[in-house]
Amino acid sequence: MHVTVGRIGRAHGIRGAVVVGVRTDEPELRFAKGSRLDTDPSGVGPLTVAGTRWHSGELLVRFEGIADRDAAAELRGTWLLVDSAGIAPPEDPDEFRDTDLIGLSVRTLDGTVVGTVDDVLHPAQDLLVVKAPDGGEIMIPFVKAIVPEVDLAAGHLTIDPPQGLLHLEDMA
């Protein structure tokens, strides 16, 4: 499975650099010189990082084989990806990657199946988007008080929803 680490924006300068919208907590690792990045669309890549630098709060990246502004401009809108198998697990046991959570079965403390994690959103509060058995969606705040257990090995997470978050009587 691939994880998105950035998206190429506009060209910068005349020597082939591009502005990259960073989508990773570890840009210095993901965009290190020599790093190979897969792309979406796949026909554009893979791309190998030739160099990076920060400029006015933006990450500027040069890729091998992209030597001028015109070639850099053709990359605009390309998503940059890495294989999730090559990413070390987080050191904090209470930290999870979105890709680890998507697909997990969701159940309450008493074992009632609520659905499956379909997506993870990151507005002001992390939210699990759970696809219910009836096809509906339930948004569950991803906080320890509501999600006390995440068992990746068993493929499920347990929730302790406050009254009104779920309408379990409607799911029966």
Q: Residues 6 or more apart from 140 whose CB is under 8 A from it?
A: 106, 127, 128, 130, 146, 147, 159, 161, 165
- Give the tens place of pLDDT for each residue, 36-67: 999 999 888 899 999 999 999 899 999 999 99
Supply the pLDDT for residue 122.
78
Q: Quick one: tokens of 166?
A: 């779920």
Determine the Cα–Cα distance for residues 169 and 69; give it in Å rounded to an integer.
Answer: 60
Give this prediction's pTM. Answer: 0.61
β-pair type (113-121, 105-108): antiparallel
Supply the pLDDT for residue 85.
67
Q: Which domains does the chain have, with CATH numbers?
A: 2-86 (2.40.30.60), 98-171 (2.30.30.240)
Which of the residues in the chain have pLDDT under 50? 171-172
Supply the pLDDT for residue 38.
92
